[in-house]
């Protein structure tokens, strides 16, 4: 039996890649990548010549059986996403679940994920928190925010630049405009930035400064 490795990749600076992550990617028989073009740059940077194949949200259901069969045949396979830890708002869960169901060994390496530095850097309580990832795009969005209005733990969200203002506005409606929050963007990249303040202050800031990059939004829980 082979082993599935879930290998985190840098969310920004390539120097955040771990030595062990590079070693695993060099030694496995196959690397499954969310986008082979993006991951190709990473592999080239570290001199990794392992064969690579695509595995993303649009083909993971179709590819699942074949990957499991290769693991059962004794191949070691690594799964990487474009950035961060596989399975955290990225492909990984379905394959991990399938491997567990077939009693195949799964090993997840520690490493980069965007929300942890954003949470710690927010200045908000991080001893207890809830990770919500991306809010529903349309259906269920309002009900999800309503259900979180009474949440006492710090809340963690991912958001895209073109939806950030809409999300901040909706959060003001459901959580109150004075609720403290923090927005981090481009973590570990050249233009990394963290803005802290009330939801209304953050909205005013990004109304004047057009959102660019990928965002992690940290919102304080209800007192």
**Per-residue pLDDT tens over the stretch 174-192:** 999 999 999 999 999 988 9
Domain shared by 178 and 123, yes or no: yes
Domain shared by 174 and 131, yes or no: yes
Q: What pLDDT shows up at residue 158?
A: 96
Domain shared by 102 and 162, yes or no: no
% pLDDT > 90, the chain: 90
Given its phi and psi angles, is residue 64 left (phi above 0), alpha (psi -120 to 50 degrees) or beta?
Answer: alpha
Q: Check pLDDT > 90 for residue 55.
A: yes
Q: What are φ and ψ of residue 65, in 5° steps? A: -60, -45
Q: Check pLDDT > 90 for residue 2.
A: yes
Q: What pLDDT shows up at residue 89?
A: 85
Domain shared by 156 and 94, yes or no: no
Domain stops at, among 108, 125, 156: 108
Domain shared by 141 and 103, yes or no: no
pLDDT band at 69 (very low <50, low <70, confident <90, very high): very high
**Per-residue pLDDT tens over the stretch 158-167:** 999 999 999 9
Domain count, the chain: 2
Q: What pLDDT shows up at residue 90?
A: 86
Domain stops at, among 85, 108, 131: 108
Instruction: Tell me the three state secondary structure of residue 197.
Output: strand
Domain shared by 83 and 142, yes or no: no
Domain shared by 142 and 62, yes or no: no
What is the average pLDDT score of the chain? 95
Give the residue ranges of DSSP H helices in the chain: 19-27, 36-45, 60-72, 93-101, 115-121, 141-148, 164-175, 199-208
**Per-residue pLDDT tens over the stretch 128-167:** 999 999 999 888 999 999 999 999 999 999 999 999 999 9
Instruction: Tell me the three state secondary structure of residue 202.
Output: helix
Domain shared by 47 and 138, yes or no: no
Of the candidates 190, 157, 174, 186, the residue with the CA atom closest to the CA atom of residue 222: 174
Q: What pLDDT shows up at residue 50?
A: 98
Q: Which domain holds residue 95?
A: 3-108
Domain shared by 191 and 212, yes or no: yes
Q: Check pLDDT > 90 for residue 57.
A: no
Mean pLDDT of 23-45: 96
Domain shared by 54 and 86, yes or no: yes
Q: What CATH number is attached to the domain comprising 207?
A: 3.30.950.10
Determine the straight-line distance between the first and last CA of the chain, rounded to whole angstroms: 51
State the pTM of this model: 0.90
Domain stops at, among 108, 133, 162: 108
CB count within 10 Å of CB 29 equals 15
**Per-residue pLDDT tens over the stretch 98-124:** 999 999 999 999 998 999 999 999 999
């Amino acid at each position: 039996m082979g082993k599935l490795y879930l290998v985190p990749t840098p969310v920004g600076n390539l120097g955040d890649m771990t030595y062990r992550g590079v070693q695993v990617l060099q030694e496995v028989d196959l690397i499954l990548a969310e986008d082979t073009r993006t991951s190709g740059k990473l592999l080239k940077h570290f001199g990794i010549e392992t064969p690579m194949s695509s595995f993303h949200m649009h083909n993971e259901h179709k590819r699942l059986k074949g990957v499991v069969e290769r693991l059962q045949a004794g191949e070691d396979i690594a799964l990487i996403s474009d950035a961060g830890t596989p399975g955290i708002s990225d492909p990984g869960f379905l394959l991990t679940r399938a491997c567990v169901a077939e009693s195949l060994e799964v090993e997840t390496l520690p490493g980069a994920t965007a929300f942890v530095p954003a949470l710690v850097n927010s200045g908000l309580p991080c001893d207890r928190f809830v990770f919500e990832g991306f809010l529903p795009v349309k259906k269920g969005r309002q009900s999800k925010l309503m259900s979180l209005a009474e949440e006492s733990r710090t809340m963690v969200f991912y958001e895209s630049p073109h939806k950030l203002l809409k999300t901040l506005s909706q959060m003001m409606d459901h959580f109150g405009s004075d609720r403290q929050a923090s927005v981090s963007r481009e973590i570990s990249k050249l233009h990394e930035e963290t803005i802290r303040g009330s939801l209304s202050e953050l909205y005013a800031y990004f109304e004047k400064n057009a959102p660019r990059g990928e965002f992690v939004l940290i919102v304080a829980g209800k007192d």
